[in-house]
Amino acid sequence: MRRPRLRALHTSDVHLGASDASRGEAPDPQAAAFTRVIDLGIEHEVDFMLIAGDFFDNARVRQETLEFAAHEIARLERPAVIGPGNHDHVGPRSVYDRLDLTSIAQNLQILRGPDGETVAVDGLEVEVWGRAHTEMLPTFFPFEGAPPRGDASWQVGIGHGHYIHPQALLHHSFHILEEQLIAAARDYVALGHWEQMTRVSAGEGGSAAYSGAPEGLGGHSGGQVLLVDLMEDGEVRLTAVPLAPGAAPIPHDELPLLRGL
């Protein structure tokens, strides 16, 4: 059965407000990068957007940062889903309780269920499942206990953590295990927590990747988003699009791939 062809924009680790306490009146580099992310989403005519955690750097960002974020998402004029990460967790003292972003960005949905929840993307044959971080616990497994596929044509996962591959440092928290991605059986899984863009193995018939950060904080080069093309035949094709104007996109077959097993 043929599916509707759709295009998603996947970003993560935007870390809005990372310099709010120190930059004074200077421009916010993370904000400038996110504006470019939205520009690219509009330019490439995406159908929806996925933000895989650490959208905000902390719960103490300036009020103007919260308002900026909501207005930028609204500017996309396409559905958007946030899966909170460890820096922008839900629960007590969550940044998402300071301002109802959805009152400004009515195209936005925020996953808040620590045990996981599924949201239907408005007007599209897409369902997104994910587990929201509630606090920084090393025992959190973002894809543990994912439910079976739903009824929509396209089934998408979103999660924030470390993909465990043979060279992984196992003391890292928030483990994402390949066997859990395989068991989740999603068509595409949008990952966050790594600043570097990387595809990871999710089993036959599945696709998963880190988008990388629009503006890196940890010394890694960020500066790109992923376009996720969901094809009529069920294939998922990724393209890394640099934020720098005029930079050449990186096609699916040239993106790095890590395997966990």
In the chain, the domains with their CATH numbers are 6-258 (3.60.21.10)
Span 183-196, average pLDDT: 94
pLDDT at 136: 60
pLDDT at 227: 98
pLDDT of residue 173: 74
Q: What is the pLDDT of residue 221?
A: 53
Both tokens assigned to 60: 């103490």
* Distance between CA atoms of residues 54 and 120, nearest Å: 22
The beta strand positions in 89-187, using DSSP E, are 108-110, 117-120, 126-130, 154-160, 162-163, 175-176
Q: If pLDDT is split at 50, 70 and 90, which confidence band does 27 have? A: confident
Sign of the Cα pseudo-torsion (22, 24, 28, 31, in order): positive
**pLDDT for position 137:** 63
Query: Residue 78: which pLDDT band, with cuts at 50, 70 and 90?
Result: very high
Enumerate the β-bridge partners of residue 6. 230
pLDDT at 182 over 80: yes
Q: Is 109 within 8 Å of 119 (Cβ atoms)? A: yes
Q: Helices in 108-226 by DSSP H: which ranges?
A: 178-184
Give the C-alpha separation, 12 to 110, whole Å: 14
Q: State the pLDDT at residue 261.
A: 58
Return the bridge partners of 238, or none.
Answer: 228
d(CA 254, CA 250): 6
Model confidence at 48, pLDDT cuts 50, 70, 90, reads very high
In the predicted model, what is the mean pLDDT of residues 122-138? 87
Q: Is the pLDDT of residue 167 over 70?
A: no
Mean pLDDT, rounded, for 68-82: 98
pLDDT mean across residues, the chain: 92
Cα separation of 94 and 258, whole Å? 32
